[in-house]
């Protein structure tokens, strides 16, 4: 579909040096090359061969910097003297032919560049030079194609049409590249929408992509706050101190107008518009040359806006206006924000309902278990009262009651501790830690010194560093070890650590672009029936008498809070096999 949309067609006349067959063949070759760099190089090779030039090159414009950079080229002097050179746009003496063409927007032809006031020498050999501007479909100059020769008067006026033809194909390749870049940005934004756990995380990721992929260097998102009855700055590439503080009232300023009316505003020199207030800007208001604001809709109503600004270029010859393509991509981002808000808020409502149900079940079960212990304690206290009233005090009976009191108080403390662990499982205080040290420390803490179970460590030789709440992760590991030991008395318990492979990450339904450390704890107990595997991590489910059945649900909460996952992948009769995945720490 995309290939058909960007099929290049030759534009030529009878006077062109590129005849119809040559032009068609060149277009066909470019249509088969989807790598932008290779396509541009192929065009330069064609231009150089046709015009017998010493060097042929392309300089692309950077809208944010207002400069040209020599990005692609072929020829004897390209690698050594030209590649990567930065060229400010302008018409002043000595700024260069490429700079002049970008500023004037017209072809340039010279048989002796040493006589040209604008000429700038990059290589000593150049005598003749021909350059043409490359424009997009809106008329903006996006690049310059330039050919050079070490022979005087090498290029003729007829050659201008050939280079212009090459320039038209360069324009198509650049347009295709920008379209693909925008599609990739939208793909990444969609991925961020799916992964974001809250609104702040969603907006930060969207702005990061907009800045890096789309080169929107000044971008801000405002969302309606019902309590303040205002549109609050929720994320910005600048203005960090104003996030969650700065506000626009409905209709206040141009951004407030976009929020209130739900309409797009794209304009140059916004200072001339009566709606402009120049508040909450990432750049000085006098330096703003372009404004683009797009409304964000939520449930059919305007709920805020995403706004980008463009700085006034220092070079008066540089045109960095926002285009229709910029407007379309910003509208697509606004739609993704709406999708993300819907998903996150729906998820929040579902979590709230599930949490209330869990609290209800937790309250009922804990009340029942605590009530049982309280009943037993009351019985012991009553029995103690009777014994104390007896003149012939029986010390052995007192010892029995003391033992029962201690036992019931211990059980009560265990219930309360399990309750606290369940409530605080996702509250983390993280720091860097070595995986192997932490795993060995946790396992050694609970593994019995005298046991018929053989403990086997198979720890990664590679040092795996993680960013975790060490106390919580130790809690998760010890819970699984204790759980395993409670189901068998003789055999082997193997603890393994290594870098998780992509297949395991996919089975855990975690993002495959993240690397994970894997902790495996496997035993030789009875294993877990397939029909029970989906139940064991749910709160209050347990086949053990001890506790409230929160242990493995606490493990799952701890792993998920770290951005990881826990799975059980053992087989009945072969033993349980718990797999824990933890994101690796990335050093800055």
Query: Can you give the pLDDT at residue 6?
Result: 43
Q: Which residue has the higher pLDDT, 152 or 227?
A: 152
Query: Can you give the pLDDT at residue 222?
Result: 93
Question: Does 229 map to a domain?
Answer: yes
325, exposed or middle or buried, with CB in 10 Å at 0-12, 13-18, 19+?
middle
In this prediction, residue 12 has a pLDDT band, given cuts at 50, 70 and 90, of very low
Contact of 459 with 436, CB cutoff 8 Å: yes
Whether 310 and 161 share a structural domain? no
Whether 385 and 309 share a structural domain? no
Q: Look up the CATH number of the domain holding residue 381.
A: 1.10.287
Domain boundary among 396, 424, 452: 424
Whether 146 and 244 share a structural domain? no
Q: Reduced to 3 states, what is the DSSP secondary structure of residue 352?
A: helix
Note the pTM of the prediction, 2 decimals: 0.52
Question: Does 189 map to a domain?
Answer: no
Whether 537 and 573 share a structural domain? yes
C-alpha distances in angstroms, 74 versus 27, 47, 109, 263? 19, 10, 19, 47
Question: Does 559 map to a domain?
Answer: yes
CA distance 339 to 330: 14
Q: Look up the CATH number of the domain holding residue 455.
A: 3.30.565.10
C-alpha distances in angstroms, 143 versus 88, 96, 252? 13, 14, 39
Range among 17-26, 154-163, 533-542 with highest mean pLDDT value: 154-163
Whether 301 and 360 share a structural domain? no
Question: Does 191 map to a domain?
Answer: no
Whether 464 and 547 share a structural domain? yes
Whether 280 and 419 share a structural domain? no
Q: Is the pLDDT of residue 17 over 60?
A: no
Query: Can you give the pLDDT at residue 588?
Result: 41
Whether 333 and 381 share a structural domain? no
Question: Does 567 map to a domain?
Answer: yes
Whether 71 and 117 share a structural domain? yes
Q: Is the pLDDT of residue 520 over 50?
A: yes
In this prediction, residue 419 has a pLDDT band, given cuts at 50, 70 and 90, of low
Q: Is the pLDDT of residue 370 over 60?
A: yes
Contact of 520 with 494, CB cutoff 8 Å: yes
Range among 94-98, 317-321, 488-492 with highest mean pLDDT value: 488-492
Whether 532 and 461 share a structural domain? yes
In this prediction, residue 340 has a pLDDT band, given cuts at 50, 70 and 90, of confident
Q: Rounded to the nearest 10 degrees, how much is the dihedral formed by the CA atoms of 321, 324, 328, 331?
A: 60
Q: How many domains does the chain divide into?
A: 4
Residue indicated by tokens 């294993």: 527
Terminal-residue alpha carbon distance, the chain:
41
In this prediction, residue 358 has a pLDDT band, given cuts at 50, 70 and 90, of low
Percent of the chain residues topping a pLDDT of 70 = 84
Instruction: Give residue 390's domain range.
Output: 348-424
Pairing of strands 67-75, 55-62: antiparallel
SS3 labels along 40-100: HHHHHHHHHHHHCCCEEEEEEEECCCCEEEEEEEEECCHHHHHCCCEEECCCCCCCCHHHH
Whether 72 and 89 share a structural domain? yes
**Dihedral of alpha carbons 157, 143, 37, 21, sign:** negative
Q: Which among 432, 567, 581, 433 is positioned nearest to 501, based on CA atoms?
A: 581
Mean per-residue pLDDT of the chain:
82
Domain boundary among 424, 443, 462: 424
* Average pLDDT for 541-566: 76
Question: Does 318 map to a domain?
Answer: yes
In this prediction, residue 132 has a pLDDT band, given cuts at 50, 70 and 90, of very high
Domain boundary among 424, 444, 476: 424
DSSP state letters, 527-583? ---GGGTTTTTSTT--SSSSS-S-HHHHHHHHHHHTT-EEEE--BTTTB-EEEEEEE
Question: Does 409 map to a domain?
Answer: yes
CA distance 170 to 174: 6
Question: Does 524 map to a domain?
Answer: yes
Whether 396 and 507 share a structural domain? no
Q: Look up the CATH number of the domain holding residue 215.
A: 3.30.450.40
* Average pLDDT for 412-417: 69
């Amino acid at each position: 579909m995309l290939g058909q949309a960007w099929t290049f067609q030759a534009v030529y006349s009878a006077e062109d040096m590129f005849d119809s067959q040559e032009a068609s063949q060149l277009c066909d070759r470019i249509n088969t090359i989807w790598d932008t760099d290779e396509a541009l190089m192929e065009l330069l090779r064609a231009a150089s061969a046709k015009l017998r030039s010493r060097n042929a090159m392309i300089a692309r414009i950077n809208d944010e910097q207002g400069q040209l950079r020599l990005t692609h080229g072929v020829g004897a002097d390209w690698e050594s003297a030209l590649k990567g050179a930065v060229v400010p746009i302008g018409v002043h003496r000595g700024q260069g032919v490429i700079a002049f063409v970008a500023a004037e927007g017209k072809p340039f032809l010279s048989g002796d560049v040493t006589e040209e006031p604008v000429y700038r020498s990059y290589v000593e050999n150049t005598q003749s030079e021909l350059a043409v501007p490359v424009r997009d479909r809106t008329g903006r100059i996006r690049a310059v194609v330039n050919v050079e020769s070490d022979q005087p008067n090498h290029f003729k006026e007829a050659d201008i049409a050939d280079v212009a033809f090459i320039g038209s194909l360069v324009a198509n390749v650049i347009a295709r590249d920008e379209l693909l870049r925008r599609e990739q940005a939208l793909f990444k934004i969609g991925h961020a929408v799916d992964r974001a756990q809250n609104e702040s995380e969603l907006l930060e990721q969207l702005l990061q992509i907009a800045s890096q992929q789309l080169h929107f260097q000044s971008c801000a998102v405002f969302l309606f706050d019902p309590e303040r009855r205002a549109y609050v700055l929720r994320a910005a590439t600048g203005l960090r101190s104003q996030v969650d503080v700065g506000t626009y009232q409905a209709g206040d300023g141009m951004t407030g107008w976009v929020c209130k009316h739900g309409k797009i505003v794209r304009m140059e020199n916004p200072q001339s518009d009566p709606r402009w207030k120049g508040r909450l800007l990432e750049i000085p208001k006098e330096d703003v040359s372009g404004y683009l604001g797009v409304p964000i809709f939520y449930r059919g109503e305007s709920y805020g806006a995403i706004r980008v600004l463009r700085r006034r270029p220092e070079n008066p010859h540089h045109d960095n206006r926002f285009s229709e393509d910029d407007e379309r991509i910003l509208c697509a981002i606004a739609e993704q924000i709406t999708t993300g808000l819907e998903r996150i808020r729906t998820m929040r409502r579902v979590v709230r309902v599930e949490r209330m149900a869990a609290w209800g079940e937790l309250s009922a079960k804990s009340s029942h278990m605590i009530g049982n212990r309280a009943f037993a304690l009351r019985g012991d206290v009553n029995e103690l009262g009777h014994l104390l009233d007896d003149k012939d005090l029986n010390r052995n009976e007192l010892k029995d009651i003391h033992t029962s009191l201690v036992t019931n108080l211990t059980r009560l403390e265990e219930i309360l501790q399990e309750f606290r662990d369940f409530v605080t499982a996702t509250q983390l205080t993280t720091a860097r830690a070595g995986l192997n040290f932490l795993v060995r420390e946790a396992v050694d803490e609970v593994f019995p010194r005298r046991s018929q179970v053989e403990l086997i460590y198979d720890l990664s030789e590679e040092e795996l560093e993680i960013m975790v709440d060490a106390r919580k992760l130790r809690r998760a590991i010890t819970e699984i070890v204790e759980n395993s030991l409670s189901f068998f008395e003789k055999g082997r318990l193997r603890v393994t650590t290594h870098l998780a492979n992509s297949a395991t990450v996919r089975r855990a339904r975690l993002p495959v672009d993240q690397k994970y450390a894997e902790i495996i704890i496997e035993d030789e107990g009875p294993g877990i029936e397939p029909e029970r595997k989906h139940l064991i991590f749910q709160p209050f489910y347990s086949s053990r008498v001890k506790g409230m059945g929160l242990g493995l649900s606490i493990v799952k909460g701890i792993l998920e809070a770290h951005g990881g996952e826990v799975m059980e992948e053992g087989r009945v009769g072969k033993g349980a096999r718990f797999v824990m995945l933890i994101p690796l720490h990335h050093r800055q």
